[in-house]
């Protein structure tokens, strides 16, 4: 069904509670594992309807944050989502304590039961009021960012639409764009600090209510980290500091020379060529058509997927003034339909939507065929391998999008992916510092960010921009506000995607078969097991990062 034709009906909490109580009773009354699994299928249908309606409301709200109807729906779900979460936890606990658990575990897998255990540790109905407040605060941040109105030569732009000027080939244009960009954060900085301060204190309070020292223990469970812990993440970040930061700084130095600059400034970040970054040729509509041709060539599975997405109009990718910033893939379980949301802005990022977000959506499309819903419950570091690797697997078709500047795009893509890893680890370490020290003042948080910049991005120079110079750059990173502790997943995944890049250059078909296997494994096993199963090195193991850097150095020199 086309997205615009999907009917929407607000989830009635009282009605759902009646249905839920009936399912709970049937489950408790069932006299065998087989009978309980039949009730479990009813639960799938119950939860799929809730997920589909709330997701339709969220997408339509994000498409136009000024739409009054869906604005009210978003506010309603901010209130009732914790109540719905409570139902899920109650049901999960009943499964976990079932006398027929062995049968159920055989059906849905031991990963699912590990996730249930984690879910129970991450929720109690006594924190529902705090969760409701947290939802309202993240919505307030989203609206503040989406509602930016920046005068650009008589045209009013939001932050997403201004972004293309931040990487403009003309340095004066970049400076002007950054001046306006940073001025927005300077003007709204006190409010953004206040929102974040409330979020940190709210999340800390939730954690303490559940018996944790600080939010990190709760946050790791909320991210469903079911096979690695804080110490392993810290070791990963240390490997990045030791091996990847020097490599990334070499790439920035190459970029400085290429740009003919004596010193790199913050206004040069993300700019790779003197004549400007390669931009896609063609209109957004033509990009989508070429995307369809590309996926038709790549494999029969990707052809089927992209045709399905196109026929059902499951993309909303054009940038508009009242649209939420950013991009994502989400899923509508009733229709077995992925959905891609983005903000095209005329840069190479538009093509990244057709590769990165389609990597997510392709895997979502495949896992939607699995009758065991729990197998689709992938953790984020695995999900990001699907997307970041697809960026590399689609490289043979980049000439369709970049023409004579294809090689420029390919080298820029590799360099940008490598440069991202230190930044991503910095975002993660910043959040660990913040949640370990929840009483920090906004000024101290800015100071902590500034110190981390020296460690992870020593080339970065904010001279001339007082707000970023004092450590305010992080406020533009929505994950820090909306999805705490998420960002390291990108870094873990990128190290796996680089392994696929190396493999595909040696044997494309073997690499693709491994990737397809990983997509189909979905969440049927733990991340640390699955990477081994498909022939990748585990990023947490010593030697993995060093080995990747050595191979990338060979590609770049």
The per-residue pLDDT for 557 is 65
CB 192 within 8 A of CB 185: yes
Name beta bridge partners: 331: 338
Structural domain includes residue 426:
no
Structural domain includes residue 44:
yes
The per-residue pLDDT for 487 is 95
Q: In this structure, how many other beta carbons lie within 10 angstroms of the beta carbon of residue 266?
A: 22
The per-residue pLDDT for 141 is 95
The per-residue pLDDT for 397 is 98
Cα distances (Å, whole numbers) of residue 464 to 87, 169, 248, 265, 461? 52, 20, 24, 9, 9
The per-residue pLDDT for 319 is 84
Domain boundary among 81, 104, 122: 122
Note down the domain range covering 293. 284-409+493-537
The per-residue pLDDT for 161 is 85
Structural domain includes residue 71:
yes
**What single-letter DSSP state applies at residue 30?**
-
The per-residue pLDDT for 367 is 94
Which among 169, 191, 256, 223 has a CA at the least distance from the CA of 461? 256
- Classify residue 491 as exposed, middle or buried by CB count within 10 Å of its CB (0-12, 13-18, 19+): buried
**Edge-to-edge strands, sheet with 315-318:** 315-318, 337-344, 328-332
Structural domain includes residue 76:
yes
Domain boundary among 93, 122, 151: 122
Interval 295-330: pLDDT, tens: 999 999 999 999 999 999 999 998 888 888 888 999
Structural domain includes residue 439:
no
What is the longest distance spanned by two Cα atoms in the chain? 76
Indicate the angle between helix axes 406-436 and 215-222, nearest 10 degrees: 140
Query: What is the H or E stretch that residue 317 is in?
Result: strand 315-318
Cα–Cα–Cα angle for 490, 493, 497, rounded to 5 degrees = 125
Interval 254-264: pLDDT, tens: 999 999 999 99
Cα distances (Å, whole numbers) of residue 504 to 292, 361, 388, 393? 22, 21, 14, 8
> Structure pTM?
0.92
Provide the domain count of the chain: 2
Cα distances (Å, whole numbers) of residue 338 to 137, 165, 306, 363? 27, 31, 10, 9
Structural domain includes residue 33:
yes
Mean pLDDT by 10 residues, the chain (557 residues): 97 97 98 98 98 97 94 94 94 97 96 95 94 95 92 92 92 97 96 98 98 98 96 98 97 96 96 94 94 98 98 94 88 98 90 95 96 93 97 98 96 94 98 98 98 97 96 96 96 98 96 98 96 97 96 85
Structural domain includes residue 438:
no
Domain boundary among 88, 122, 156: 122
In total, the chain counts a number of residues equal to 557
Report residue 533 as tokens: 């199963």
Q: In this structure, how many other beta carbons lie within 10 angstroms of the beta carbon of residue 49?
A: 16
- Pick left, alpha or beta for residue 346 (phi over 0 → left; psi -120 to 50 → alpha; otherwise beta): left
The per-residue pLDDT for 146 is 86
Question: 3-state class of 295 per DSSP?
Answer: helix
Structural domain includes residue 115:
yes
Which among 299, 300, 365 has a CA at the least distance from the CA of 329? 365
Residues 538 and 530: their CA atoms lie apart, in Å, by 9
The per-residue pLDDT for 259 is 96
Residues whose CB falls within 8 Å of the CB of residue 539, separated by 6 or more in sequence, listed in order: 236, 492, 495, 496, 531, 545
């Amino acid at each position: 069904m086309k997205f615009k034709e999907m009917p929407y009906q607000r989830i009635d909490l009282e009605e759902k509670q009646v249905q839920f109580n009936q399912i709970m009773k049937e489950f408790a009354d069932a006299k065998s594992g087989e009978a309980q699994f039949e009730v479990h299928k009813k639960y799938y249908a119950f939860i799929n309807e809730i997920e589909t309606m709330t997701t339709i409301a969220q997408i339509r709200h994000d498409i136009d944050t000024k739409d009054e109807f869906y604005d009210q729906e978003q506010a309603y779900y901010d209130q009732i989502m914790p109540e719905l979460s409570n139902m899920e936890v109650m049901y999960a606990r009943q499964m976990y304590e079932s006398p027929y658990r062995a049968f159920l575990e055989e059906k849905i897998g031991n990963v699912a039961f590990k996730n249930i255990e984690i879910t129970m540790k991450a929720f109690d109905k006594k924190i529902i009021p705090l969760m409701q407040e947290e939802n309202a605060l993240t919505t307030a941040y989203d609206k503040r960012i989406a509602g930016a109105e920046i005068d650009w030569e008589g045209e009013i732009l939001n932050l997403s639409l201004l972004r293309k000027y931040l990487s403009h080939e003309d340095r004066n244009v970049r400076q002007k764009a950054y001046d306006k960009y940073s001025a927005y954060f300077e003007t709204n900085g006190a409010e953004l600090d206040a929102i974040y301060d409330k979020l940190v204190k709210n999340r800390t309070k939730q954690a303490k209510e559940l018996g944790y020292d600080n939010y990190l223990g709760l946050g790791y469970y909320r991210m469903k980290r079911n096979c690695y812990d804080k110490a392993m993440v810290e070791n990963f970040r240390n490997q990045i500091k030791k091996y990847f930061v020097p490599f990334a700084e070499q790439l920035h130095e190459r970029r400085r020379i290429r740009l003919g600059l004596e010193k790199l400034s913050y206004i040069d970040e993300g700019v790779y060529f003197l004549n400007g970054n390669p931009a896609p040729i063609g209109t957004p509509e033509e990009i989508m058509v070429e995307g369809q041709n590309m996926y038709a060539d790549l494999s029969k599975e990707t052809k089927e997927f992209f045709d399905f997405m196109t026929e059902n109009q499951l993309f909303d990718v054009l940038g508009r003034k009242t649209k939420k910033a950013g991009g994502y893939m989400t899923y509508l379980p009733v229709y077995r339909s992925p959905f891609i949301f983005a903000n095209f802005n005329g840069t190479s990022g538009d093509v990244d939507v057709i590769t990165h977000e389609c990597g997510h959506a392709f895997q979502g499309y495949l896992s939607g065929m699995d009758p065991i819903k729990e197998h689709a419950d992938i953790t984020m570091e695995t999900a990001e391998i699907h997307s970041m690797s697809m960026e590399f697997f689609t490289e043979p078709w980049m000439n369709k999008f970049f023409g004579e500047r294809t090689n420029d795009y390919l080298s820029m893509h590799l360099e940008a992916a490598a440069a991202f890893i230190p930044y991503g680890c910095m975002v993660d370490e910043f959040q660990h510092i913040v949640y370990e020290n929840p009483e920090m003042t906004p000024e101290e948080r800015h100071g902590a960010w500034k110190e981390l910049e020296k460690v992870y991005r020593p080339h970065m120079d904010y001279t001339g921009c007082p707000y970023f110079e004092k450590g305010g750059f992080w406020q533009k990173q929505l994950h820090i506000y909306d999805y705490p502790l998420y960002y390291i997943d990108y870094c873990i995944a990128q190290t796996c995607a680089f392994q696929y890049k190396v493999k595909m250059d040696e044997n494309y078909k073997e690499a693709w078969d491994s990737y397809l296997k990983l997509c189909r494994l979905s969440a049927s096993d733990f991340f640390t097991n699955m990477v081994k199963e498909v022939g990748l090195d585990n990023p947490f193991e010593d030697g993995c990062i060093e080995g990747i850097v050595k191979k990338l150095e060979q590609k770049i020199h």
